[in-house]
A and B are shown apart, each in its own frame.
Chain A
Amino acid sequence: MNQTDIRRLAAGFALSGAALAACAFELPGDGVYKDHVDWGVMMDMSGPTASSQGIWVHGFQDYMRRLNEAGGVNGRRIEVLAEDSRYNTATDKINFEKLSTQTPVIAISGMGTSGSQVAMAAAIKGGQIPIVGTYTPTEALSVPVTPMVYNGFCGYKQMAQTGIGYYVDQLKLKAPKVMTVAIESAGGQDYQNYVSQVAAQYGGTAKAVTMKVTAVDVTPQVLEIIAAKPDIVTIYGVPNTAILTMKAMQQYGLKIPTFGITYLGGPQVFKAMGPQAGADYKFVSCFTPGGSDQSPGNKELSAYANKVGNGALEADVNYVGGWVVAQMAAESLARAGAEPTRAKLVEAMNKGFTVDSRGLAAPIVYTKDNHTGPVVLKMFGYDYGSNKYKHFGEYADYAKYTAH
């Protein structure tokens, strides 16, 4: 190779490098393009929590699809970049970096793994990419209030308040004894703490028993429940946690009023329990299962879910949760103006906004100092005769439990 060839080669490399650099500078760092905006989702689409979080993703995507069919937000489609967290904090960290810089998005929704929220809380709070609508609202990420995080799912504190408050009223308990059955996780610990606080407010006591997320037999846990003789049992975990606990309690002849957290209200949970074990089981939720009432929001959700072949998912509160958070994402994006950026989105949300889901949930109000999200929950059960959810009152009847 002579000197001229070497010069030509060097010039070629230099030109290629310059072209690549030019392309890189053209890539919008915030995921905003001429015709669309990229919006990230980080959820467990495989692993033990996929049966609830995967359905949430379907709800989110379907709302966005419907919105895009209607023209999108300010003339731009919203493209959902969904990353699978695989119930793994390390994977979540990689996904977060990817959505922050490599395939940039304007904001992220979901973040369903509580351990990941705890591990990445500092990075998120000190970062530039807002989390709009968390699926698992942990204290580590939500407290103190930060302009970077907006909860989008019923909070553990409100779940404990509503569930215990409801049973204290229904059973006229003076000093409730509450037993929490939970998987060993950061969120599980938060939930146990809230249950203890709420039980104490009513002059009662709380105990907790834990199990592995992949447990097959919960005899040790049920023996502890028998020994504790609680008035109320509450379950935190994955569908398997609720199914195993209720089946085992039935086998041991225990008939204790039990409520699960919102994530454990899917139809498959009730079906797997069966009518006998499921008779004593209810769940608290800030979202109304699709197809279970005639509110305008519920009709829209039901019609679209059936249109796109997801009719089987509409009754799952996780699907509804994803749908409502997508609505929240779209509304916040609309407020960020015609040329949105991450900074503009954060600024717009920080002024406060309300999400009216037209009956799928009580109105969700965000203010500068309150990003709790859905705070009014109610109790749901399952009618095995009609295979439909049972409502126990209206959201307004329950507002008192979470008002303080």
Chain B
Amino acid sequence: MLAQLLFSGLALGSLYGLVALGFAIVFKATEVFNFAQGMLVVCGAFFAVTAITLLGLPFPLAVLFIIAAAALLGVAIHVLLIQPLSGRPMLSVIMLTIALSIVLRSVVEMIFGAEGRNLTTPLPSGIFIVGGVRISQLHLTVALVSWACMAGFGGFFKFTSTGLLMRATADGHEAAVASGINVNKMNRLAWAIGAVLAAIGGLFLAQLQIASTDLEKVGLLALPAVVIGGMQSIPGAIVGGLLVGLIEQLASFYISPKSSDIVIYGILLLILMVRPWGLFGQRELGRV
């Protein structure tokens, strides 16, 4: 039974990790705490509904459509909303992302209605049994794709020149500008990646559940994941996501479903008190 819970917790946690990774990339690059990340998950789910259900695109084309639409949305958010606020106090930008999430929710409900939509994809839905543990093919697919995305973006940051430029920009805007890096371009790219990762999460969540604006709450579980892991840490976001998934499943089974929120946010509070830079984050030292 424990093995079963661990598997489902890790699968769920991979999904949270994927969304949290998008959040961490945006934060690392632009220092924007994006409260609209949950709504970007919802947008991804409805891009999937548009591509698969409404336009009837074949699944591979639909995936390309979702990625392109999400990337475009991320770039548009940066160009139209974030970039003009460059240099303004952090509070203004945070308020902007909260407002953005409300606007996106309203737009989605105006276009698609408040009712949830079914999403049927050719993703596998059966099970197989390994050592007594029932492995859901859909959960396994979710976990594998999430890990592939995480590994892919990890490799992108480590081994490509664009990834290097993005890391350099994240480490110091002024130094990056002085070195001739187009900082706005790098930031736009970060927002595009963040939105794409959220959208992939939305595609899976809509398949596991139904596509509705309530997926925002699930998407927002990336926030504790990223805080626990470390705001600026990409491995931290992944580990944080896995932890949140595991805690959710174990607490639901051994205590009660409501208790999972208490445990997750209890750990978040504890981390903020004793290690505010998170499990994998780096402590910032300032000269006084």
Contacts and interface: CB of A to CB of B under 8 A. Distances in A.
A223 B209 contact: no
B109 A268 contact: no
A215 B117 CA distance: 16
A378 to B, nearest CB: 25
Interface string B4-46: 1100100110010000000000000000000000000000000
Contact of A46 (B15, B114, B252): B114
A55 B5 contact: no
Contact of B134 (A211, A239, A252, A271): A252
A45 B213 CA distance: 12
Contact of A217 (B1, B215, B249): B249
A219 B214 contact: no
A251 interface: yes
A48 B214 contact: yes
A328 B117 CA distance: 31
Given A220-B5, A223-B253, A239 B116 contact: yes
Most chain A CB neighbours (cut-off 10 Å) among B15, B118, B205: B118
Given A223-B253, A252-B134, A217 B208 contact: yes
B210 A272 contact: yes
Interface residues of A, number: 34
A54 B113 contact: yes
Contact of B212 (A48, A216, A223): A48
Contacts of B5: 219-220, 223
B163 to A, nearest CB: 31
Given A217-B11, A219-B249, A220-B249, A51 B116 contact: yes
Nearest to A267: B118
Interface residues of B, number: 37
B125 interface: yes
B115 A51 contact: yes
A55 B113 CA distance: 11
Interface string A246-282: 0100011100000000000000100110100000000
B115 A50 contact: yes
Contact of A210 (B116, B213, B257): B257
A244 B213 CA distance: 17
Contacts of A50: 114-116, 212
Nearest to A227: B1
Contact of A216 (B1, B116, B125, B208): B208
Nearest to A55: B115
Given A216-B12, A219-B8, A223-B1, A268 B213 contact: no
A396 to B, nearest CB: 33
Per CB-CB distance, the 8 closest pairs between chain A and chain B, nearest first, are A220-B253, A219-B8, A50-B114, A51-B115, A220-B252, A46-B114, A272-B118, A51-B116
Interface of A: 45-48, 50-51, 54-55, 184, 210-217, 219-221, 223-224, 239-240, 243-244, 247, 251-253, 268, 271-272, 274
Given A48-B214, A51-B115, 4 more contacts: A50-B115, A215-B257, A217-B8, A251-B126
20 contacts: A47-B114, A48-B212, A48-B214, A50-B212, A54-B114, A210-B256, A211-B257, A215-B257, A216-B15, A216-B208, A217-B11, A217-B139, A220-B5, A221-B257, A240-B214, A247-B125, A251-B125, A251-B127, A252-B134, A271-B118
Interface of B: 1, 4-5, 8, 11-12, 15, 109, 113-118, 125-127, 134, 136, 139, 205, 208-210, 212-215, 217-218, 249, 252-253, 256-258, 260
